[in-house]
Amino acid sequence: MGIFNNRNGSENGYRKPARYSAFDLFRRGLSRADWPRAWRKHDLRPSYDVVVVGGGVHGLATAYYLAANHGITDVAVLEKGYIGSGGSGRNTAIIRSNYLTPEGVRFYDRSVKLYETLSADLNFNAMFAQRGHLTLAHNDGSLRTMRWRAEVNKLEGVNSEVIGPDEIKRLVPYIDTSEDVRYPILGALYHPPGGIIRHDAVVWGYARGADAYGAHIHQNTEVTGIDVVDGRVGGVKTNRGDIATRVVVNCTAGWATLISGMAGVRMPISTFPLQAAVTEPVRPFLDPVIVSGTLHVYVSQTDRGELVFGASVDPFTSYSMRGTLEFTEGLAGHVLELMPSLSRMRVLRQWAGLCDMTPDFSPIMGTTPVAGFLIDVGWGTYGFKAGPVSGETMAELIATGKTPELIAPFGLDRFERGDLMGEKGAAAVGH
């Protein structure tokens, strides 16, 4: 798979993009030639085979795999702001597959696999750094959950193990593993394939790839309505004009309820802000990603040297992305409980994104009662890490009309059936 070695793509609209490599960088540096646009601008066509709502990693990956894997290129991705302006550009860029349920592990493992080859497939370096991922356990119960996850992970072929405080200290010398603290560290789930990535680069890489195949990426294009006639989708209305289409995919986060509502589909979703913060850079000292569910915090250090922090979602629903002081206060307290020597590091910026939380901390993917209206929503706090596999499976669903096995457990009808997913225990603070 990949833009350069896949020849299945439609002839119509395929444009081989300028190749990115050290050699080409050097060549253009010498000649001072400009690089071409990574994705083009287009007028809105009156109709598309498929309309993807939401220009984040999910929507762009869906468009990319529709073309790359299935030859479907008459696709529009509609983004009301700029691409990656929602959750894709606001998350803390953590990738992992150490989930609790076998279904979850299989699904996210496929995503990690896709992430591992993504830079090469897209010819765009997203700088995936598999530095390892540590989920700390501060009490018996969470240590038991870590062991549960490790055992399920191993059975699914995913590298996870429970390690003790000494090993934690070896991996992260800055962590306070002493016993006389309020929340002593009893152990951790260590997941070596986990890590961080340049989240924006994933968005841009997929956009460039989808564009190369001929998909149209429409920024500043807001969906204002969805036409449903006799229980099936007929088109979408946007601030730039109407589009006729028989397939609409809702790939939004934060606005999933509203977009689905336009098609008359009710969602089991509550939207909560999720905040994050970043410090000034310091010299690299922290390799793995650290998560503590008890302390509601996760920390990683970027290649630039900044610490990136996140926590659990805000305590009440809101569509506000203004951020709160309580968030940074609580966060700092918890970070310093883990790593007291960081007290003089400074928080440079805080921000918020919107998370569509579902009752069972699992996404909602697949068909809806409205024919042609598909959903890839309810991504809570774990949507970014699922971007590639979601795009791949949603593309397969659109192309084949059959729900891929990997996403079968995540259907909307599970709520009416009462077959909820069991991720709740592990995902409360699941980065």
Residues 4-23 that bind other proteins (CB under 8 A): 20-22
Taking CB under 8 A as the criterion, the residue among 51, 75, 93, 332 binding other proteins is 332
Q: How far is the CB of 429 from other proteins (least distance, A)?
A: 15
Residues touching other proteins: how many (CB under 8 A)?
120
Whether 391 and 60 have beta carbons less than 8 Å apart is answered as: yes
Q: How far is the CB of 66 from other proteins (least distance, A)?
A: 21
Q: Using the CB atoms, write b or e for 201-220: b if 16+ within 10 Å.
A: bbbbbbbbbbbbbbbbbbbe
Using CB under 8 A, pick the residue from 1, 244, 342, 399 that binds other proteins: 342
Q: How far is the CB of 244 from other proteins (least distance, A)?
A: 27
Q: Which is nearer to other proteins, 87 or 205 (CB)?
A: 205
Residues 69, 125, 159, 367: which binds other proteins (CB under 8 A)? 125
C-alpha dihedral, 276 to 249 to 110 to 132, nearest 10°:
-10
Per-residue x/- mask for other proteins, residues 94 to 113, rule CB under 8 A?
--------x-----------
- Residue 115 binds other proteins, judged by CB under 8 A: no
Per the rule left: phi > 0, alpha: psi between -120 and 50, beta: everything else, 123 is left
Q: Which two tokens stand for residue 101?
A: 């349920």
| Distances from the Cα of 393 to the Cα of 166, 178, 325, 387, angstroms | 41, 45, 39, 10
Identity of the residue, 52 or 307, whose beta carbon is nearer to other proteins in the bound complex? 307
Stretch that binds other proteins, among 24-32, 59-67, 368-376, 382-390 (CB under 8 A): 24-32
φ/ψ region of 23 (left if φ > 0, alpha if ψ in -120 to 50, else beta) reads alpha
In the complex, the smallest distance separating the C-beta of residue 270 from other proteins, rounded to whole angstroms, is 5
Query: Minimum Å distance from CB 331 to other proteins?
Result: 7
Looking at beta carbons only, is 65 or 124 nearer to other proteins?
A: 124
Find the binder of other proteins among 29, 43, 166, 230 (CB under 8 A): 29
Identify the H or E element spanning 270.
strand 270-279
Question: Which of 261, 206, 256 lies closest to 228, judged by CA?
Answer: 261
From candidates 8, 178, 239, 320, binder to other proteins by CB under 8 A: 320
Binders of other proteins among 212-231, rule CB under 8 A?
A: 219
The correct pick among 78, 259, 267, 398 for binding other proteins (CB under 8 A) is 267
In eight-state DSSP terms, residue 329 is H
Which structure tokens are listed for 109? Answer: 């493992």
> How crowded is the C-beta side of 47, counted as CA atoms within 13 Å?
7
* Residues numbered 127-146 forming contacts with other proteins, rule: CB under 8 A: 127-130, 138-139, 141, 144-145
Q: Which of 62, 111, 252, 279 binds other proteins (CB under 8 A)?
A: 279
Site for other proteins in 361-390 (CB under 8 A): none
Quick one: which segment of 25-33, 44-52, 62-70, 223-231 binds other proteins (CB under 8 A)? Answer: 25-33
Q: Which residues in 153-212 contact other proteins (CB under 8 A)?
A: 154-155, 161-162, 173-174, 182-184, 198, 200-201, 204-205
Binding test (CB under 8 A) with other proteins, winner from 165, 192, 234, 268: 268
> Residue 5: which residues within 8 A CB-CB, separation 6 or more?
none
Scanning 238-246, 262-270, 368-376, 401-409 for contacts with other proteins by CB under 8 A, the matching segment is: 262-270
Q: Return the residues of window 383-422 that contact other proteins according to CB under 8 A.
A: 415-416, 418, 420, 422
Cβ atoms within 10 Å, residue 65: 28
Window 297-316: residues binding other proteins (CB under 8 A): 302-305, 315-316
- Say how many CA atoms lie within 13 Å of 242 toward its Cβ: 6
Interface of this chain with other proteins, residues 31 to 50, rule: CB under 8 A: 32, 34-40
Whether residue 219 contacts residue 83, with contact meaning beta carbons closer than 8 Å, is answered with: yes
Distance of CA 78 to the CA centre of its chain: 18
- Characterise 84 by phi-psi region: left (phi > 0), alpha (psi -120 to 50), beta (else): left
Structure tokens at 293: 């569910």
Beta carbons of 162 and 189 less than 8 angstroms apart: yes
CB 77 within 8 A of CB 52: yes
